[in-house]
Amino acid sequence: MKHLDMQTAPTNICERMGRSQELSEFQRGAVIGCHLCNKSIREISSLLNIPQSNLQSPCGLQISSTSVRRELHGMGFHGRAAASKPYITKCNAKRRMQWCKARRHWTLEQWRRVF
């Protein structure tokens, strides 16, 4: 029997290795769409009236929340907390407005000296 080198063999001969993908392209698009609309897994499951641990896709395929997270992570979507920024106080807003009004008629040469 002749040994087949997987590195140099034509791709149509080699079998796919690993587990098959759970989500189709359509389902991936639906997951991304829900993510971009800021829908959490909890919101999606409540909208569809399905247990959160067992989301059902439109095609009838069982999709776990882990699969959804894995797909989003693989597409570059990562969870993060938004940076909290301090509000501008009335006193600071007044000082900023005064600063702007004082420099309203500056020439380009004056601004170049600042930068």
Structure tokens at 42: 């909890």
- Decide which of 38 and 111 is more confident: 111
**Helix (H), strand (E) at residue 56:** strand 55-56
Q: What does pTM read for this prediction?
A: 0.32
Structure tokens at 44: 């999606």
pLDDT band at 12 (very low <50, low <70, confident <90, very high): low
- Residue percentage of the chain with pLDDT more than 90: 22
- 51-99 tens-digit pLDDT: 666 555 444 456 676 777 777 788 777 777 778 888 899 999 999 999 9
Does residue 23 contact residue 71 with C-beta atoms inside 8 Å?
Answer: yes
Residue type, 26: F
User: Rounded to whole angstroms, how far apart are CA atoms 55 and 63?
Assistant: 5
pLDDT beyond 50 at 100: yes
